[in-house]
Amino acid sequence: MGFLSATLSMSRYHIQNTFETEPMEQVRKGLIKNAIPKLENEYEEISAGWTPFESPYLPDFEKFSFVFGNYFLFSLRIDKKSIPAKLVQKQMAIEIEKKKEKSGRDFISKKEKSEIKETVMDLLMHKMPAIPNVYDVLWNYETADLFLLTTQKAANEFFESIFFKSFNLKPIRLFPYTQVETKSSFSTTQKDAIMTLTPLHFSR
Amino acid sequence: MLDIATAYNKYGFLGNEFLTWLWFIVETDQDITRITASKEPITLEIGNSLVLENTLGDKSKEKITIKGDQAGLEEGTTALKKGAKVTEMNLVCTLGQEEEYKFTIKGESFNITGLKTPTAGRDGSDDEIEGLVLEKSLLLFRITQVIDTLFIKYLEQRISDDWKNKGFSQMRTWIYND
């Protein structure tokens, strides 16, 4: 459970807009609809979806809660199959040799090589188990604050896309500009003044 | 609002300047509790790493990394004189008497890594999970609240009329040890 570990990393979001009714029910529906499939699809390179914080490998939102006091806490799981290049290289060499023997030629065409590669990739993708990565999500619905417990760009992009798809609410990544726009109480005049600032130069 | 990707690149410098200002207020022993108008004492120290970056004339970048628990930061101030800004720093923040947080923050993204919060007591039972989650959540929101408040305070100073004669001038005096 990354969220409860001694050391953690996180990126922050502001959630734009709110649900019109029953936020808890809307979140529950969104999580269940976009939960990670219980059974792995053997041919998919990447599979991603929500899973309960307390049960990252058995995505059952009926059994495990996502409500903790005023917070929603759940996890994003991204399962990815990764085929080592050296394994592809080895399998390709074996298959090319087989093809040469079968055809009686001592060479194979570019097209044949490309077909072999496709077959090899399909075969390896089918055999290779997906590696799961779990990223916890802490959401304070009342304040529209959300923490995603990772700073990996690919995971952030997955999160932003699946969050919007699940809840129809846009997560806005917090960095200097968005912090000013969404979280500060600066007046329009003050915001304009900030947006016209240029970098400081301390050198003489 | 501007396009997010454009805004990220255009205003990333504000985050780097903010970290540079944080280093300045720590080094010049300014009262963080007063700056943040906090009801409880807040102290801030530079932790065990500081990264500065300087964009050179040909758009290439010079990166200076200072690491170590007792590392001297003189090279950092030398880099500031050459035009560098802090892009990443490790901080130790204490709230109240002994609520200690250690973390590294990046200027352009405000990403937080290696965050160690005060330890939550646990015995591992399932019943205890909710209590631990609530406690940890509170701690995370407390520390991010301090960071956010400091960033706002920096911007308030930065757009104030006396910034050039006060804040900027004081930072320059600190950098050049005038």
- pLDDT tens readout for residues A152-177: 999 999 999 999 999 999 999 999 99
Q: Which residues pair with A128 in a beta bridge?
A: none
Contact B2 A71 (CB under 8 A): no
pLDDT lower than 50: segments of chain A = none
Q: Is residue A172 part of a domain?
A: yes
- Please, where are the H alpha helices in A6-148? 23-33, 85-103, 110-127
Q: Which residues in chain B have Cβ-Cβ distances shorter than 8 Å to A199?
A: 13, 17, 85
Number of domains in chain A: 2
Q: Which residues in chain B have Cβ-Cβ distances shorter than 8 Å to A6?
A: 116, 119
> In terms of domains, do A12 and A103 share one?
no
- Reduced DSSP (H G I as helix, E B as strand, rest coil) percent helix, strand, coil of chain A, to 5: 40, 25, 35
Q: Is residue A185 part of a domain?
A: no
Pairing of strands B42-55, B85-95: antiparallel
Which one, of B107, B103, B112, B120, lies nearest residue B47 by Cα? B103
ipTM of the complex: 0.91
> In terms of domains, do A54 and A22 share one?
yes
pTM, two decimals, is 0.90
Q: Please, which pLDDT band fits residue B60 given cuts at 50, 70 and 90?
A: confident
> In terms of domains, do A11 and A63 share one?
yes
Q: Is residue A186 part of a domain?
A: no
Which of A96, A127, A158 finishes a domain? A127
Q: Please, which pLDDT band fits residue B37 given cuts at 50, 70 and 90?
A: very high
> In terms of domains, do A76 and A148 share one?
yes
> In terms of domains, do A65 and A135 share one?
yes
Q: Is A114 helix (H, G, I), strand (E, B) or coil?
A: helix
Tokens read off for B82: 């050459």
> In terms of domains, do A14 and A95 share one?
no
Choose between B60 and A132: higher pLDDT. A132
Chain B residue closest in CA terms to A147? B140
d(CA B93, CA B105): 12
The reply to whether A140 touches chain B by the CB within 8 Å rule is yes
pLDDT score for A179: 95
Q: Is residue A25 part of a domain?
A: yes
Per the structure, the complete domain to which residue A33 belongs is given by: 2-81+130-176
pLDDT score for B120: 65
- B4: pLDDT strictly greater than 90: no
Contact B159 A193 (CB under 8 A): yes
d(CA B48, CA A28): 42
| Interfacial A residues in 182-201 facing B (CB < 8 Å) | 183-184, 186, 190, 193-195, 197, 199-201
> In terms of domains, do A20 and A121 share one?
no
The DSSP letter of residue B161 is T
Chosen from B54, B55, B111, B170 to mutate, greatest number of chain A CBs within 10 A:
B111
Judge contact between A171 and A161, C-beta under 8 A: no
Phi then psi for residue B25, to 5 deg, are -70, -30
Q: Is residue A140 part of a domain?
A: yes
Q: How many CB atoms lie within 10 A of CB B178?
A: 7
Choose between B122 and A28: higher pLDDT. A28
d(CA A32, CA A66): 11
Q: Which residues in chain A have Cβ-Cβ distances shorter than 8 Å to B17?
A: 199-200
